[in-house]
Chain A
Amino acid sequence: MARGDDGQSERGAQARRGRGPRPEPWLALALLLLCVGGVRAADPETCLVCHQFRGLSRFDAERAEVRLLFVQPEYTRARLGPHGRLACTGCHARAAVSVIPHEPVVPVDCTQACHLVNPTGLERRFNHGNVAAMLQDSAHPWSKLSELKFARGALLDPGQSLCLYCHDEPVFRDPTRAIPVLRTLGARVFDRCEVCHADVVPVDIEYYVRHIASRLQPARPTLELAQVCAVCHSDAQVRATHDLPDAVASYVRSFHGKAALLGDQTTANCLSCHVGAGQNAHQMFGHRDPRSSVYPSRVASACRSETCHPGANPRFAAAAVHLDLPISRGTWEFALAAAFILLTIATFGPSAIIVLLELGHILIERHHHRRQEVEQLARAVLQHPEGRRRLVRFTPSQRVQHWVLVVLFSVLALTGFPMKFADRAWAATVIGWFGGLHVARTVHHWVGLGLIVGLLVHLTYVAWTAFGRRPGGQPGGRRRGLIATITALPMWMDWRDGLKALQLLAYLAFLRRDPPTFGRFSAKDKFEYIGVFWGTVVLGLTGLLLWGASFSSHFLSGRWTNLALIAHTYEAFLAIIHVGILHIVNVILSPNVFPLSPATLTGQTPLAELVEGHSELVVQVAGELGMVGPGAATEAGHA
């Protein structure tokens, strides 16, 4: 390659460029460039001839980092973003990149002027200087950005543009989200435009539409935006230095944030609230700045914007988007959450202990001394032509109601639980089964309404059967009073059930020789039944309040939305762990009933379950059939 030393050539080169020796291979490169015309059209400086290769990289052992020199060629070729129209030297110093190997990288100044070429070939100078001025006046001035220290170490190289904290290579968003007709018409949508805009009034329509369609949507998907803000607002050191709460964390755990985690692109993102009308993301102000959209006197307007909650009352804004319970001690929200946690432990705890001890008894094969006797009696009753029918614990109507409840509960759990634990990987999968959050949420609302209706139907059924039986209910023919009718319901739980539950616990804890006996419904059955009542009322009321949050804001403060959300979510959790762990074990997984107690299918209770849990019923039926004397039932009842 000594030919490059030719003096004349070198002088010519120096004269033209005013610097450095100019070797002959440029002729070869010229040939190359002529050969790659297709690339050159989109990449006038032919940088992509080399930089289009993903492997054009090296590992920098000193910094333990990959120096990735790859530039996605499709970005330029297909102009995937606004910077796809720029030449590389629009940002990179020409002196550094016009020689191979390139000179050390000169940091890019995002406010420098660049050239945009329009379809007529005219160049326009452009720069982001106005953005710099906006930022300087905002909550994110250069002085603050340049002093940021991160717990994870420096995130940018020295001298790199501070814009990179928030921005990377901008990409147009999918235009069909904003203009759905593009999906069906494809490129044909431009045919009419091209009549004039191809030549007469040259405009790159396709680029223009993609640009506008992208701008009609948020700059980034909701979650990606949270990611951008989290760079600083969730960094421990940045928060400590600037005394900031972890606003991104509390947002992501909020109603909106969870929707974002589950892929909802229409839910409120950080900018929805923190950028006011007529402002842009570079004009965010601290919440104490009167110009800020979240300044106390303006925040209601942010919530009640036309796109968010247009019909809401101003007091709707009292709902906390950034509620973080552990740092909200002393508030009603904290107290309510604490109360629900205590309720959960007080109700789930004893039930769990009983189930565990029962399994423990199976493990050690402990049986009470009357078991064999009751079992023989139960077998005898079951063999009696009338016995099996009389041992049916649930009527066909009750079984249908139970299975309707099973379906409603399961759908509510499948659609609701992922919303509570939206940050878990499985949550998005489950929501995906429903076709996305919007569908899952709609299903949740209407099935929840179904549950409320179901409760009302059941109450009607209870009233019908209870009051319908009243005339014949008393041997003397006297009608029972209302209270007496209610307390006579088979699922009514009184002090005797409480006492039996304690006796059961004592038996299971080896403090009694024999367990108490139960009739058609055990204390566990009654407790679960009451739990369903309580849960449906709490979940129904709070669910309705949340569903119509904008409407309810005309009667209740936004704080009630917080409280309703807390009650709804903690009560749902209680219901799910009770049913998902204990009830499922009791009726499906327990060795006494596995693989499924048919009691709610055919009405027949398995023998082991009859013996262990409903011996009183067995003795009662045996007595009715004349198989034992009346004393036996009493004896079994006091065993």
Chain B
Amino acid sequence: MPESTAQPRPRRALALSGAVVFSIMRRAYAAVLIVVIVWLTFLAVRYLFRSLIRPIAAPPQVMQLPTRLGEEVLRERREQWAALEATENARSPLAHYHRFEGWIEPDRFNDCTRSGCHLALPHARRKEVRAFLNMHATSVHCSVCHIQSADTPLPVAWYSLANGKPCGPPAGLRAYEFVTGAEERQRLAHPTGADQARLAALLREAAEAADGAPALRDLAARVAAVRVESEAFQELVGTVRTTLPEYFRGEYGAKLALYDPQTKKPVLGFPGTAAAVKEWLERGSTLNPTDRAALLVRVHPLKREQALHCSDCHRQAGGLVDFAHLGYPEARRDALFRPAIFQMIEHISSGQPMHLPEFTTP
């Protein structure tokens, strides 16, 4: 008698079903192998024939040179759009002479841009100020200037470009405070290893936020490398004081936005307007001017009649933004409150050209 017949019935059934499952798996596996072999063979044979028949074309590494500064070019990082990680200095589009090795960090949490309504460089109308306004778009969310708020100062807070959530002041500002604040200056006169580690970490974080800024990274490495009680460390702290302001260029890895204390979230778009935005995108261009205007009101229900001006924020007393509360060190606040820049902007904003003084020429 065969051994299997001696097995109890449930065991036999189990063995039988196991054999069936094994057989199915084995056959499925064979089918997958067939597909893979056929596919690989096809690729191999196609390659062989093409190598003899089709004239050679230059590969993407050579041909994907950006030819114009279309928006899609700038969305990508340098190594991607240039497709040349092997090169030291990838080329800019031909018509653009100056190099740019990076691009502003896209704000993936800004409802105004991610909805598809506005570009990351939204200001385009007034030649006098549009570029200056776009410059602010890298560190200030649209809500600060364009959404109504009765509070003074405005309830503004930082939010992270990595996750859209509220965050503390950016590393660059904290590092600047660390080397320029009155208390910190005293402490840095007799620094400890912890101070050194903190400064290096802040600088590294600031470099990361500023698109990898090699000079900052280098500075961080040097700060970390020297002996904390040495003269070299003090010299480096001085260098950090003078160098950091060069990196306050709106690349903080964070942005300022209106803050809603009730939800404890930054205001990154007009609340409750999803349907209106959808309608605008679908048929906004087909509407007559009256309906269009009405729909736009629904899209922007809390929009300020008049956006904020430079001097609304950039002033020492009565400014709408409390820069100290936002973590701007005193030295940085002083720079932001200097009247020269915003007075110049407001001057040209009024339609009058601004002639640079003769003595600025070499």
Q: Could you tell me if A156 and B34 are in contact, using CB atoms closer than 8 angstroms? A: no
Contacts of A29 in B (CB 8 A): 340, 344, 354, 356-357
Bound-complex Cα distance A221 to B356 (A): 40
Q: Chain A residues with Cβ under 8 A from B68's Cβ?
A: 65, 155
A31 pairs with B58, CB closer than 8 A: no
Residues of B with C-beta under 8 A to A168: 91-92, 94, 96-99
Q: Number of A residues contacting the other chain (C-beta, 8 Å)?
A: 125
Q: In the complex, which of the residues A165, A246, A589 contacts B56, with contact meaning CB atoms closer than 8 Å? A: A246
CA distance A26 to B352 in the complex (A): 12
B188 at the interface (CB under 8 A from A): no
Q: Does B294 reach chain A (CB closer than 8 Å)?
A: no
Write the B130-143 contact mask toward A (1 if CB under 8 angstroms, else 0). 11101111110000
B353 on interface, CB distance cutoff 8 Å: yes
Within residues 14 to 30 of chain A, which ones have a CB less than 8 A from any CB in chain B?
16-17, 20-23, 25-26, 28-30
Q: Is the CB of A423 within 8 A of B30?
A: no
Interchain CB contact under 8 A, B340 and A31: yes
The yes or no answer to A495 lying at the interface (CB within 8 A) is: no
State whether A1 and B350 are in contact (beta carbons under 8 Å apart), knowing that A65-B69, A345-B45, A577-B44 are contacts in the complex.
Answer: yes
Q: Are A164 and B69 in contact (CB under 8 A)?
A: no
Q: Is B8 an interface residue (CB 8 A)?
A: no
A115 within 8 A of B: yes
Q: How long is the Cα–Cα vector from A50 to B348 in the complex, in angstroms?
A: 14
Measured in the bound complex, the distance between the Cα atoms of B348 and A23 in whole Å is 10
Residue of B58, B214, B355 touching A248 (CB-CB under 8 A):
B58
Instruction: Please state if B347 and A66 are interface contacts (CB–CB under 8 Å).
Output: no
Give the interface centre of A100, A365, A428 by most chain B CB atoms within 10 Å: A100
Contacts of A348 in B (CB 8 A): 41, 44
Q: Which of B117-125, B191-199, B301-309 contacts A (4 or more CB under 8 A)?
A: B117-125
**Contact assessment for B48 and A573 in the assembled complex, using a CB-CB cutoff below 8 Å:** yes
What is the CB-to-nearest-CB distance from B197 to chain A, in angstroms, rounded to a whole number? Answer: 23
User: For the complex, is A611 an interface residue (Cβ under 8 Å from B)?
Assistant: no
Q: Which of A55-63, A191-199, A543-551 contacts B (4 or more CB under 8 A)?
A: A55-63
Complex CA distance for A149 and B31, rounded to whole angstroms: 52
B70 touches A (CB below 8 Å): yes
Tell yes or no: B185 within 8 A of A by CB. no
Q: Are A55 and B343 in contact (CB under 8 A)?
A: no
**Most chain B CB within a 10 A radius of its CB, from A173, A174, A352:** A352
Considering only CB atoms, which chain A residue lies closest to B103 in the complex? A54
Q: How far is the CA of A55 from the CA of B360 in the complex (A)?
A: 24
**B92 neighbours in A (Cβ, 8 Å):** 168-169
Interface check B67, CB cutoff 8 A = yes
A4 to B44 alpha-carbon distance, docked (Å): 76
Does B60 have its Cβ within 8 Å of any Cβ on chain A?
yes
CB-nearest residue of chain A relative to B91?
A168
Chain B residues with Cβ below 8 Å from A344 are 48
Q: Check B26 against A591 for contact (C-beta < 8 Å).
A: yes
Known: A50-B132, A423-B60, A585-B37. A155 touches B249 (CB 8 A): no
B-chain residues with CB within 8 Å of residue A491 when the two chains form the complex: none
CA–CA, A160 to B95, complex, Å? 8
A333 → chain B closest CB, angstroms: 11
Closest approach, in angstroms, between the C-beta of B249 and any C-beta of chain A? Answer: 5
Q: Are B104 and A28 in contact (CB under 8 A)?
A: no
Query: How many Å lie between the Cα of A263 and that of B104 in the bound state?
Result: 28
Quick check: is A64 within 8 A (CB to CB) of the other chain?
A: yes
One digit per residue, 1 when the CB lies within 8 angstroms of any chain B CB and 0 when it does not, for chain A 119-139 equals 000000000000000000000
State the CA gap A336–B350 with chains docked (Å): 76
The reply to whether B99 and A171 form a contact with Cβ atoms under 8 Å apart is: yes
A13 to B352, CA, bound (A): 15
Q: Please encode chain B, from 214 to 258, with 1 for each CB lying within 8 Å of some chain A CB and 0 for all others.
A: 110000000000000000000000000010011001110000000
**Cβ–Cβ < 8 Å partners of B100 in chain A:** 54, 68, 70, 72
- Is there contact, CB below 8 Å, between A100 and B344? yes
Known: A31-B340, A345-B45. Contact between A165 and B99, CB under 8 A?
A: no
Tell which of A46, A226, A348 has the most Cβ of chain B within 10 Å.
A226
| A581, B65: Cα distance in complex, Å | 36
Alpha-carbon distance between A52 and B246 when the two chains are bound, in angstroms: 9
Q: Which of A301-309, A353-361, A409-417, A527-535 contacts B (4 or more CB under 8 A)?
A: A353-361
Taking a contact as CB atoms under 8 Å apart, the answer to whether B61 and A423 are in contact is: yes
The answer to whether B131 touches A58 (Cβ under 8 A) is yes
Smallest distance from the beta carbon of B137 to chain A beta carbons, Å? 6
Is A93's CB within 8 Å of the partner chain B? no
Interface residue A511 (Cβ < 8 Å from any Cβ of B) = no
Convert B88-116 into 0s and 1s, putting 1 for each residue whose CB lies closer than 8 angstroms to a CB of A: 11111011111111111000000000000
What does the 1/0 interface line of A332-364 toward B look like (CB < 8 Å)?
Answer: 001001100100110010001001100110111
Bound complex: CA A69 to CA B50 (Å): 45
Q: How many A-B residue pairs have CB under 8 A?
A: 333
Name the residue among B26, B59, B128, B348 with the largest chain A CB count within 10 angstroms. B59
C-alpha spacing A317/B204, complex, angstroms: 52
* Chain A 220-235 per-residue mask, 1 if CB under 8 angstroms from chain B, else 0: 1101101110110010
Q: Do B134 and A56 have beta carbons less than 8 Å apart?
A: yes
Please tell me if the beta carbons of B104 and A55 are within 8 angstroms of each other in the complex: yes
Q: Decide yes or no: A58 and B130 within 8 Å by CB, A70-B100, A100-B356, A234-B62 being known contacts.
A: yes
Contact A249/B88 with A28-B339, A168-B99 known, Cβ cut-off 8 Å: no
Instruction: Check A155 against B94 for contact (C-beta < 8 Å).
Output: yes
With A26-B356, A29-B340, A72-B98 as contacts: A45 and B361 at CB distance below 8 Å: yes
Whether B99 pairs with A246 at a CB distance below 8 angstroms is: no
| A488 within 8 Å of B (CB atoms) | no
* B89–A341 touching, CB < 8 Å: no
A478 at interface, CB cutoff 8 A: no
Q: How many angstroms between the C-alpha atoms of A1 and B123 in the bound complex?
A: 24
Q: Is B338 an interface residue (CB 8 A)?
A: yes
Assuming the contacts A55-B134, A58-B121, A224-B91, asked whether A25 and B347 have C-beta atoms less than 8 A apart, the reply is yes
Q: Decide yes or no: A66 and B362 within 8 Å by CB, A58-B130, A221-B87 being known contacts.
A: no
A318 within 8 A of B: no
Contact A57 B52 (CB under 8 A): no
Residues of B within 8 A of A483 (CB): none
Closest partner residue, chain B, to A245 (CB atom): B55
B262-319 residues at the A interface, CB under 8 angstroms = none
CA distance A420 to B342 in the complex (A): 59
Which residues in A have their C-beta under 8 angstroms from that of B211?
Answer: 54
Query: Does A108 touch B at the CB level, under 8 Å?
Result: yes
Q: A60 to chain B: which residues have CB within 8 Å?
A: 124
Is B151's CB within 8 Å of the partner chain A? Answer: no
Using A29-B356, A591-B29 as known contacts, say yes or no to A171 and B89 having CB atoms under 8 A apart. yes
Question: A496 interface residue, CB < 8 Å from B?
Answer: no
Interface residues of B in 33-65 (CB under 8 A from A): 33-34, 37-38, 40-41, 44-45, 47-49, 51-63, 65
Cα distance A247–B362 in the bound complex, in angstroms: 46
Which of A32-40, A277-285, A289-297, A398-406 contacts its partner?
A32-40
| B347: chain A residues within 8 A (beta carbon) | 1, 4, 23, 25
Cβ distance B121 to chain A, nearest Cβ, rounded Å:
5
| 22 A-B pairs whose Cβ atoms sit less than 8 Å apart in the complex | A17-B355, A23-B354, A45-B361, A45-B362, A54-B138, A54-B250, A56-B134, A57-B134, A66-B71, A66-B121, A67-B69, A72-B98, A72-B101, A155-B67, A227-B91, A246-B56, A246-B57, A253-B56, A352-B37, A359-B31, A581-B41, A591-B26
Given contacts A45-B356, A58-B131, A69-B131, 9 further A-B contacts (CB under 8 A): A25-B347, A56-B131, A58-B121, A89-B362, A94-B361, A98-B361, A160-B95, A591-B30, A591-B33
10 closest A-B pairs (Cβ-Cβ)? A32-B340, A423-B59, A55-B138, A249-B58, A55-B135, A100-B354, A28-B340, A224-B87, A362-B30, A234-B58
